Amino acid sequence: MGERALIFEDVPADGSSPAGGTISVWTLNRPDKLNALNTQSHQEIKEQCARVESDDNVRCIVIRGAPPPEPEEGKRPKPPAFAAGADISEFAGKDSDDVRPFFEDNAWEAVWNLSKPTIAMVDGFALGGGTELALSCDIRIASDRSTFGQPEINLGLIPGGGGTQRLCRLIGYGRTMEIVLSGGMVSADDALKMGIVNKIVPADELESVTMGLAQDIASKSPFTTKVAKRAVRAALDLPFSEGVLMERSEFVALFDTEDKEIGVNAFLSRSDAEWVGR
């Protein structure tokens, strides 16, 4: 295999509790192709998902795109990108039997199914599968020069990485229809107004803001964090009354954990909680 399509680095989470926690930072690494997601990208993302799921030290995952390379002599610079979609060069000449196995076991679902918190750190184009990868994360922080969209309709396609469903649940029916049917670009400002992203910041602050949030998340009990993610996620699938019951049952069960006692006593004694993760 040639160069990696995904670079990963586990950076120490300062103040992680239990100590030794890390934030796993994944960089989509095909900047010449605006980090378009090809088969190799999917494979490597899936491998990383399996790895962080079984590594107790990893408390939070941040996904980003590699910055544009230095422009070649006489050529125009490439724009910054999170990911400009699935790699369209892999679509030509394929029929449904060719693509079905790939789409049935893809990186978007692998990221979505992680039990740990995930943050998309978006700087530049996040189109098609790039928007969908960001939507597979729990939280999206974007630079103010970012652009989102689902342009698949322009290729005679529709989103295939969960975009119609996750976007609709995130921002509602009408806005999703506009984005999917028009295939148009959505500016960072509009993405913020619609609720596609949690926050937009100047590009030079993107990393510090995103990593600050990741550090904050990594400072909580990793056990409770997973329960919280599971409970919020259930709101997408369950009828409201069942969801409230499910939340109550998760809440009550937390009273049998050591971390609940640690957290409550830390508050009462005005000290920092030192979680044990159970």
Exactly one of 129, 163, 222, 263 binds ligand COA (CB under 6 A); that residue is 129
Q: How far apart are CA 107 and CA 42, in angstroms?
A: 5
Nearest to 60 by CA among 222, 277, 246: 222
Between residues 79 and 172, which has the closer beta carbon with respect to ligand COA?
79
β partners of residue 58? 22
Between residues 61 and 86, which has the closer beta carbon with respect to ligand COA?
86
- The yes-or-no answer on residue 152 being catalytic is yes
259's tokens: 């971390």
Smallest gap from Cβ 61 to ligand COA, in A, equals: 23
Residues binding ligand COA: number (CB under 6 A): 18
Smallest gap from Cβ 219 to ligand COA, in A, equals: 36
Q: Which of residues 156-175 bind ligand COA (CB under 6 A)?
A: none
Q: Which of residues 31-50 bind ligand COA (CB under 6 A)?
A: 33-34, 36
Exactly one of 1, 3, 73, 89 binds ligand COA (CB under 6 A); that residue is 89
Between residues 164 and 219, which has the closer beta carbon with respect to ligand COA?
164
Smallest gap from Cβ 123 to ligand COA, in A, equals: 13
Catalytic: which of 152, 250, 258, 261? 152
Q: Contact 5/29 with Cβ under 8 angstroms?
A: yes
Planar angle of CA 99, 101, 107, nearest 5 degrees: 95
180 lies in the binding site for ligand COA (CB under 6 A): no
Which amino acid is present at 144?
D
> Three-state SS string across 42-95, please?
HHHHHHHHHHHHCCCCEEEEEEEECCCCCCCCCCCCCCCEEECCECHHHCCCCC
Q: Contact 87/202 with Cβ under 8 angstroms?
A: no
Smallest gap from Cβ 109 to ligand COA, in A, equals: 17
Q: How far apart are CA 17 and CA 11, in angstroms?
A: 14
Q: Tell me the catalytic residues.
A: 132, 152
Sites of contact with ligand COA (CB under 6 A): 33-34, 36, 78-79, 84-89, 125, 127-129, 151-152, 155
